[in-house]
């Protein structure tokens, strides 16, 4: 019988991390090595696939999507080419009959920039689920709950975004000094995660005025909600990486 997989949230940050050797990418490599047994397939919910309605990618050979501009040429030459998992994508559609399938979507940088450190051999089938950007926050948790059954089948569920993500603030400071409001909200979220008070994480206004600066748009925050939805109450929580850099939280976690 396939051993149940944990569920992850990865703060992916700058796509250049795909090429860097730093404490963050080293933590991803260590996390990948710690997963035993390896997953049968990987489902990624990335901040970079936003749609109306929810869609699952069912391509057999997902392409590497370079969904950004203004970076060095070497980043555009990165190819992460695992097989897809159409069979598991169809299983997702049985759990969520209302969603559609997309035979074209590959792997955006929210997926491949972290997976190439987690699983550098690219031997594990990978597919993505889109984020319905028009759905209320609670709906993303509900979808995560429906996906939780996949864990028992050996599927690793990965949310990829950033708890705190303010690019305007990031680029406004050439020195990239860390903003106090980013530290405050990252710590507030971490406290709720550690206490199991996930309901508060659907009401970021409870974090005070700093929340509006830390999460000016919800796209990078939403993947965390899928991770929480796919977890079980009381599961062990591990912060596999913790850093607040300028207006970004790079916090990563494992549940289960």
Q: What is the pLDDT of residues 106-132, one digit of tens each?
A: 999 999 999 999 999 999 999 999 999
- Report the mean per-residue pLDDT for the chain: 97
Q: Decide if 169 is inside a domain.
A: no
Of 62-71, 104-113, 162-171, 247-256, least confident by mean pLDDT is 162-171
Place of tokens 């680029």: 171
Give me the domain span that covers residue 90. 7-163+217-255
Residues 23-75: tens digit of each pLDDT: 999 999 999 999 999 999 999 999 999 999 999 999 999 999 999 999 999 99
| 52 occurs within a structural domain | yes
In a domain, 57, yes or no: yes
CA–CA gap between residue 67 and residue 55 (Å, rounded)? 18
pLDDT tens digits for range 189-213: 999 999 999 999 999 999 999 999 9
- Can you tell me the distance from the alpha carbon of 184 to that of 49, in angstroms, rounded to the nearest whole number? 28
Does residue 211 fall inside a structural domain? no
DSSP letter for each residue of 236-250: -EEEEE--EETTEE-
The number of domains in the chain is 1
**Distances in whole angstroms, Cα of residue 87 to Cα of each of 62, 91, 101, 195:** 14, 6, 12, 37
- Let me know: does 249 contact 164? Beta carbons within 8 Å: yes
* 58-to-75, 100, 193, 211 alpha-carbon distances in Å: 26, 10, 32, 36
Phi then psi for residue 237, to 5 deg, are -110, 135
Sequence-distant (≥ 6) Cβ neighbours of residue 156 within 8 angstroms = 5, 6, 7, 8, 35, 39, 41, 42, 43, 124
Q: What is the pLDDT of residue 182?
A: 97
> 1 pLDDT band (50/70/90 cuts)?
low
Share of the chain above pLDDT 70, in %: 99
- Whether 43 is covered by a domain: the verdict is yes
Per-residue DSSP letters for 45-111? EEEEEEESS-EEE--SSPPBP----S--HHHHT--------HHHHHHHHHHSTT-EEESS--B-HHH
> Is residue 183 a part of any domain in this protein?
no
What DSSP character marks residue 199? G
208-229 pLDDT, tens digit each: 999 999 999 999 999 999 999 9
Structure tokens, 52: 């109306």
Binned at pLDDT 50, 70 and 90, residue 105 comes out as: very high
Q: What is the pLDDT of residues 171-194, one digit of tens each?
A: 777 667 899 999 999 999 999 999
For residues 197 and 130, give the distance between their C-alpha atoms in angstroms, rounded to a whole number.
26
| CATH number for position 31 | 3.40.830.10
pTM over 0.95: yes
172 assigned to some structural domain: no
| Residue 232 located in a structural domain | yes
The H-or-E segment that residue 195 falls in is helix 180-195
């Amino acid at each position: 019988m396939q051993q149940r997989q944990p569920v992850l949230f990865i703060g992916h940050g700058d796509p250049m991390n795909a090429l860097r050797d730093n404490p963050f990418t080293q933590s991803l490599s260590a996390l990948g090595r710690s997963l035993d047994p390896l997953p049968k397939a990987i489902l990624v919910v990335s901040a970079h696939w936003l749609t109306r309605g929810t869609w699952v990618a069912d391509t057999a050979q997902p392409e590497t999507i370079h969904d950004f501009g203004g970076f060095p040429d070497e980043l555009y030459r990165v190819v992460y080419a695992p097989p897809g998992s159409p069979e598991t994508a169809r299983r997702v559609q049985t759990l969520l009959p209302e969603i559609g399938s997309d035979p074209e979507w590959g792997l955006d940088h929210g997926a491949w920039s972290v997976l190439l450190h987690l699983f550098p051999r690219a031997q594990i089938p990978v597919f993505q689920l889109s984020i319905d950007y028009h759905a209320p926050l609670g709906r993303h948790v509900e979808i995560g709950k429906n996906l939780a059954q996949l864990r028992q089948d050996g599927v690793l569920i990965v949310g990829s975004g950033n708890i705190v993500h303010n690019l305007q603030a990031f680029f406004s400071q050439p020195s990239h000094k860390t903003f106090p409001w980013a530290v405050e909200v990252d710590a507030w979220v971490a406290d709720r995660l550690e206490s199991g008070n996930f309901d508060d994480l659907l009401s970021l206004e409870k974090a005070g005025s700093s929340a509006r600066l830390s999460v000016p748009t919800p796209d990078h925050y939403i993947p965390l909600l899928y991770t929480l939805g796919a977890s079980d109450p009381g599961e062990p929580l591990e912060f596999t990486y913790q850093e607040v850099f300028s207006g970004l939280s790079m916090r990563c976690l494992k549940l289960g």
